[in-house]
Amino acid sequence: MRFLLSIILAVSALCAPASAQQVPHSQAEISLSFAPLVKQAAPAVVNIFANRRTAARATPFMGNPFFDQFFPDMQQTMPRVQNSLGSGVILSEDGIVVSNYHVVGMATEIRVVLNDRREFDARILLADEQSDLAILKIDSDVPLPWLPFRDSDEVEVGELALAIGNPFGIGQTVSSGIVSGLARSGVATGNARGYFLQTDAAINPGNSGGALIDVAGRLIGVNTRILTRSGGSNGVGFSIPSNLVAQFVKQARAGNAEFKRPWAGVNGQAVDGDLAEGFGLAVPEGVVITALHPLSPFAQAGLSTGDIVLSVDARPVNAPAEMLHHLSVRGVGEVSTIHYLSDGSERRVEVALIEAPEVPAADPRTLREGSLAGLTVANLNPRLAIEIGLPSDMSGVVVTQIAGPLRRVGLRVGAIITAINGDPVTSTADIALLEGAEGRSWSFDGIFQGRPFTFRFRF
């Protein structure tokens, strides 16, 4: 009888309504309802409406005397307005908001709507397409609701998580799930390729920029994209870890106009089974260094090609993007502890985190006269290589812009020119000598996307 009474009391405790003012802490409370947690966190998640004005394309009839005379209105081109809809998260009571770059990047007007229907104009403090993050600022006369950060490196697979956002523009919505994966680094978000948390909490179009929170109401990630074939959620969503978001907020508050990302000057690849066997490792782990720039802080600290980076600041790394993520979280000007394997011996060293150097000087040159008018080149350095998307160990004279007739001959931005008409090209000064040069036949030798090329063309 006592045993039966104990069971009845336990079931009654589980079925009792939770206090609307209390955040659930135990598994029993969580199984009852997420409502208290949502009441606490939802006010800090906002809807974002962004407009971008772009120039309208000219009609093919513009400039035609006949159409200009009889259809003068065709000459008037109205700018087009592109609209985007997404979500955001308030991170401080003074109005710091995070969203995705693909939601607000290049926007001319941004409107932030709170859960209580208050509306604010927002301005961009810092935006970075590569990370797909943007930090906004809204101004309010009263403190705003906000979400605290949680250390995303402490998040574990299997933890409960809630995704809050504005899917399909239908209004704020909450979905529940778990953290289903960590260190997802093979996922592309627009032009961004980074390091993500994975969740099976339903994320749909419009959820971008919304919050992924834990059961304590702390931000663990900013929802950014899904993997889908139908356009709807299939339970595979990705969030940008909160630690990287915190570094963005830090730099935005410091007044940075662009995100300063540490430069490693390293090319590497994940250690797979075959490499592990070749290196004599018991299990595949780490990132093997395949190339090092001479100015790399890793090279300065003593690492060399063939070494295997095992961890950054005591965080294991198993992909180049994962290593870059941990360096970015630490930030430029700081020092990271690198644990690596060299010649079979484990070693630890401190590496100073620096920005990509501009050595040699880019010294951009543009040809304005002659057959090659419209060609702009620069001396390739690590900073420029990052901007163009080239490997950091490449050098030479790179094409940065093409205008005029040269656009039709096949030359592309990012091509490295090694010779013109058989004469070696080693710096932009060699290109400057061609200012005003006339000729009908030209030959360009160089490298594009890692492959040698030769362009021969006539004007």
C-alpha of 261 from chain center: 11
Q: Which two tokens stand for residue 131?
A: 């990370």
Calpha distance 345→111 (Å, rounded): 56
Q: DSSP labels for 301-344?
A: TT--TT-EEEEETTEE--SHHHHHHHHHHH-TT-EEEEEEEETT
Place of tokens 């395949």: 290
- Determine the 3-state secondary structure of 39 from DSSP: helix
- Token pair of 52, please? 């971008």
Residue in 231, 206, 211 with CA at minimum distance from that of residue 223:
211
Tell me how far apart the alpha carbons of residues 378 and 401 are, in angstroms, rounded to a whole number.
10
Mark whether 208 is an active-site residue: yes
Contact indicator for 293, 392 with CB cutoff of 8 Å? yes
* Residue 6 annotated to the active site: no
Closest CA to 321 of 269, 259, 285: 269
What is the torsion angle, in degrees rounded to the nearest 10, for the CA atoms of residue 411, residue 412, residue 413 and residue 418?
-50
Q: Which of 102, 293, 326, 339 is catalytic?
A: 102
Selecting among 128, 132, 214, 445, the annotated active-site residue is 132
111: helix, strand or coil: strand
Distance CA 87, CA 100 (A): 8
Cα distances (angstroms) measured from residue 201 to each of 54, 65, 158, 174: 35, 60, 12, 9
| DSSP 8-state symbol, 42 | G
Residue 228 vs residues 32, 37, 236, 300: alpha-carbon distances, Å: 31, 29, 8, 44
Q: Which amino acid is at 341?
A: L
Closest to 244 (Cα-Cα) out of 330, 342, 332: 330
Active site residue 139: no
Active-site residue, from 208, 311, 328, 371: 208
Check: CB of residue 445 under 8 Å from CB of residue 454. Answer: yes
Token pair belonging to 61: 């009839």
Residues noted as catalytic: 102, 132, 208
